[in-house]
Chain A
Amino acid sequence: MKKIYILWLRQIKKYLRSKSRIVGSLGQPLLFLIALGYGLNSVFQQAGQGSYLNFLSPGIIAMSIIFTSIFSGMEVIWDRQFGFLKETLAAPISRFNIMIGRTLGGATVATMQGIIVMFISLLFGFRPVSWINMIPAIGIMFIIALLFTSLGTMIASLLEDMQGFHLIMNFLVMPIFFFSGAIFPLQGLPKVLVIIVRINPLSYGIDALRILLINVGHYGLGIDTIVLLSVTLIFLWLGSHFFKKIQI
């Protein structure tokens, strides 16, 4: 337990110390909030859908979480290049526990990032239906973060270096974000898109956040939570499976 804790703590310390990383990774969500949130607000309202900023904010919160968590998971690659990974892999701690410590750390960091974005969107005019619901929403954010940190760890365990990073970002992470209903409503989509959105685990995370924060939803909180938790468990398992195979 103490070993998992110290690995968790390491990620948190590193995050809190890299002010440039915290501020830097707020740029993208800010841009989306301002450009899309304000830019498309009137179109959205004319279509009778209410405030676009309110609709968009949970999507942008989720966006900052998946980017941060995939990146945190992929930090295995840096630790490998820098050598610190060896220090943990040769120590008397099981690989499963190393993976759990790292993943909990990465997911905590991503959740903190999501919370920051949630407060920023409040500044821009986002209004949740209930303030209390922000607490279960943070729980959902943490599950989303766990899921994608595990995915990042899995990818990192399969890659030798950062060469494939942009490939992963452009052909995996971006599509996951865009085809999740983060920026558009799920009603009236073409059939193909409906299927893609439905197999995307992030869709359920964003749906759950919307239900809690703006009382608008598609699948229902029960389904969302079940899907999210099951996929997270599968990815944790996959992540640790591939992490165990790493050779230095």
Chain B
Amino acid sequence: MNTIIEVKSLTKKFDGLTAVDNVSFNVETGEIFAFLGPNGAGKSTTIKMLTTLLRPSSGNIIVNGHDPVNHPDAVRRSFGIVFQDPSLDEDLTAWENMEIHGVLYDVPSSTLKQKSEELLKFVDLWSRKDNFVKEFSGGMKRRLEIARGLLHLPKIIFLDEPTLGLDPQTRNHIWAYVRDLNKNAGTTVFFTTHYMEEADKIAQRIAIIDHGKIIAIGTSNDLKKQTNTNSLEDAFLALTGSTIREEAVNPNDRMRKMHKMWRK
């Protein structure tokens, strides 16, 4: 009973496109596990299937002993998540976003107040707690998403490219916090990234994913050994035949602009 996430032959097709292609892996309880892969590799799609937001086209998943398709509510009680895409309510204040999250995740109200304060201070947003999220910069929103995601103490925490767009200092700060959580509370951490050094430094095991397939899985050392290389970057290159491609523009931005015009 040491495996907390079990994935067998998982596949997700979006009409015509196979985003996740026959993927199998396990994550052990208390482990820090990473998906490393370029944009469009299928990382977020996999996380969405693990967290009950998307139905798999085929394959089996067990998260904390339950199947997300048939027992979504049981699975939802076991994890916390920081999404890659924005998920804040911009018409509410930072504090209100924390508050809703706390209530939805059954955080007792005294803990909620104290923990929200602690986390907002941690991400340097305490002085802005009563400001509307729509007044925040991209980086501030990202920090708030992370603070909110850490508000309750789940068994598993999913972090989908959590540090995207943050400066290196904030990044280190947040990873230190996540590591502490893993060490002291035994929280299982599942994160995705397309930063080599992040996967290398933080994760105990890494799955390299490209075009919807897991190409290799193991510790950073395993992967280097397997490919006879000296760095994770070279190992990645040897395994996928390419370097990691850079960030594209977020297509949701257009929709957001339209919405703003609509509301005015």
Beyond A81-B252, A90-B81, A93-B104, whether A21 also contacts B263 by CB under 8 A is yes
A6 in contact with B104 (CB, 8 Å):
yes
Q: Does B140 contact A (CB under 8 A)?
A: no
Q: Does B237 contact A (CB under 8 A)?
A: no
Q: How far is the CA of A18 from the CA of B52 in the complex (A)?
A: 33
A13 in contact with B92 (CB, 8 Å):
yes
Sorting the interface of chain A by its residue count into under 10, 10 to 19, 20 to 34 or 35 or more gives: 20 to 34
Choose the segment among B82-90, B117-125, B202-210, B220-228 that binds chain A (4+ C-beta atoms closer than 8 Å). Answer: B82-90
B264 in contact with A247 (CB, 8 Å):
no
Q: Does A131 contact B (CB under 8 A)?
A: no
Interfacial chain B residues near A89, Cβ < 8 Å: 52-53
Q: How far is the CA of A78 from the CA of B262 in the complex (A)?
A: 11
Contact with B along A2-44 (1 / 0, CB 8 A): 1100110010011001101100000000000000000000000
Interfacial chain B residues near A82, Cβ < 8 Å: 86, 89-90, 256, 259
CB distance from B79 to the nearest CB of A (A): 8
B104 in contact with A91 (CB, 8 Å):
yes
A14 in contact with B104 (CB, 8 Å):
no
B264 in contact with A78 (CB, 8 Å):
no
What is the interface of chain A mostly: helix, strand, loop, or mixed?
helix
B86 in contact with A83 (CB, 8 Å):
yes
A3 in contact with B103 (CB, 8 Å):
yes
- The chain A residue sitting closest to B86, CB to CB, is A83
Q: Does B211 contact A (CB under 8 A)?
A: no
Q: Give how many A-B residue pairs fall within 8 Å (CB-CB).
A: 85
Within 8 A of B (CB), among A36-66: none
Interfacial chain A residues near B105, Cβ < 8 Å: 91-92
Q: How far is the CA of A155 from the CA of B69 in the complex (A)?
A: 24
A86 in contact with B259 (CB, 8 Å):
no
Q: How far is the CA of A20 from the CA of B260 in the complex (A)?
A: 13
Interfacial chain B residues near A13, Cβ < 8 Å: 92, 96
Contact with A along B100-144 (1 / 0, CB 8 A): 110111100000000000000000000000000000000000000
Q: Does B54 contact A (CB under 8 A)?
A: yes
B83 in contact with A81 (CB, 8 Å):
no
Interfacial chain B residues near A93, Cβ < 8 Å: 76, 104
Report which of B53, B77, B92 forms a contact with A14, defined as CB distance below 8 A.
B92
Q: How far is the CA of A28 from the CA of B98 in the complex (A)?
A: 37
B99 in contact with A6 (CB, 8 Å):
yes
B255 in contact with A161 (CB, 8 Å):
yes
A86 in contact with B88 (CB, 8 Å):
no
Q: Does A84 contact B (CB under 8 A)?
A: yes
Interfacial chain B residues near A133, Cβ < 8 Å: none
Q: Which of B100, B103, B104 gathers most chain A CB within 10 Å?
A: B104
Q: Does B48 contact A (CB under 8 A)?
A: yes
A84 in contact with B104 (CB, 8 Å):
no
Q: Which of A21, A90, A93 gathers most chain B CB within 10 Å?
A: A90
Interfacial chain B residues near A21, Cβ < 8 Å: 263
Interfacial chain A residues near B255, Cβ < 8 Å: 81, 161
Q: Does B187 contact A (CB under 8 A)?
A: no
Interfacial chain A residues near B85, Cβ < 8 Å: 83, 86
Q: Which of A89, A92, A94 gathers most chain B CB within 10 Å?
A: A92
Report which of B73, B96, B103, B259 forms a contact with A81, defined as CB distance below 8 A.
B259
Within 8 A of A (CB), among B205-249: none
Q: How far is the CA of A2 from the CA of B264 in the complex (A)?
A: 32
B106 in contact with A92 (CB, 8 Å):
yes
Q: Does A215 contact B (CB under 8 A)?
A: no
Q: How far is the CA of A32 from the CA of B99 in the complex (A)?
A: 41
Q: How far is the CA of A92 from the CA of B77 in the complex (A)?
A: 5
Lowest 5 CB-CB distances: which A-B pairs, in order?
Answer: A91-B104, A83-B87, A6-B103, A248-B53, A92-B76
A18-B263, A91-B105 are known contacts; what are 20 more A-B pairs with Cβ within 8 Å? Answer: A6-B99, A6-B103, A7-B100, A18-B91, A78-B259, A81-B252, A83-B85, A83-B86, A86-B87, A87-B100, A87-B101, A90-B53, A90-B79, A93-B76, A94-B73, A162-B262, A247-B55, A248-B48, A248-B53, A248-B54
- Where the two chains meet, the residues of A that have a C-beta atom closer than 8 Å to any C-beta of B are 2-3, 6-7, 10, 13-14, 17-18, 20-21, 78-79, 81-84, 86-94, 161-162, 247-248
Task: Enumerate 13 A-B pairs (CB-CB under 8 Å) in ascending A order.
Answer: A6-B103, A7-B100, A13-B96, A14-B89, A18-B91, A89-B53, A90-B76, A91-B101, A91-B105, A92-B76, A161-B255, A247-B53, A248-B53
